[in-house]
Amino acid sequence: MSTLTVLGTTGGVGATTLTALAIAAAQGQAAPAVEAVDPMPLARRLASDEQGRGRGPGLVHDAGRATPERCAAALERGTIAIVSAATPLGDAVLAPLLERIGAEELPGRVIVVRTALFGRPSRIRTDIAVDALLVPRDPLLTRPGRIADGGAGYRAQTRTALDRWASLTLQALRVR
C-alpha cells in the first residue's frame, strides 16, 4: 500500500487542511484509507462522503507534528509531506529538519509545503532537492469547517498551488 504521511512543523500551519485536500484529490480515483493522530479536526475538514472511505490502495495519514523520529518512521511507509509556515521562523525549523532526515538522499519521497500564513512569504534558502510547493494565503483555506469543493472560489494562485498538491498527492499514492 502506498502511503502519504502529512506532518506539520507546528500547529496551525495547515497540515490537516492539506491532508483533507489530499484525500479529496484521490476521491475520484480510488478513495484512500485515512488515519489521523487526532481524527476530529480532520473529520471537520472532510465532506461527509469522504469520511470512512478507503477502498483504494493508498493511505493518507495526518500524523501531527513533524519530528525527526516521526518523519523517519513515516518514510519507512512511503512518502512524507512536511508542512511549514513560509516565514523566517518556519524556515528556521524546516531546514534543519530536512537535513536531519536526509531529505537530499530521498528524491520523490519528501514533499515540502510552505504555507503563506502571514503577509508576504519568506524565501527559504536550501540546497536540498525536494519537491517544494508554496500555498498562498487564501481566506477559503483558513476558515473553519469543510474545505471548498473542487477549488470553487479559491484565488487563481491558490488553485494553481492546490492543483500541484493534488498531482503530488496522486504520485505519492501511485494513482494514475
- pLDDT tens for each residue of the chain, 176 residues long: 799 999 999 999 999 999 999 998 887 666 788 999 999 999 999 876 555 556 677 899 999 999 999 999 999 999 999 999 998 888 889 989 999 998 877 878 999 999 998 766 666 655 555 788 999 999 899 888 888 766 678 999 999 999 999 999 999 988 64
Q: Which segments of the chain does DSSP mark as H helices, in order? A: 15-27, 39-45, 68-77, 88-100, 139-142, 156-172
Residue 104: which of 87, 127, 122 has the closest Cα? 127
Tell me whether strands 33-36 and 78-85 are parallel, antiparallel or unpaired: unpaired
pLDDT of the residue at 31: 74
Where are the strands (E) in 97-140, listed by range? Answer: 110-115, 131-135
pLDDT given for residue 123 in this prediction: 66
In the chain the domains, ranked by start, together with CATH numbers, are 2-172 (3.40.50.300)
C-alpha cell at 141: 483555506
> According to the model, what pLDDT value does residue 151 have?
67
pLDDT at 57: 74
What amino acid is encoded at 119 in this protein?
G
pTM summary value: 0.90
Q: Which three cell numbers stand for residue 65?
A: 507534528
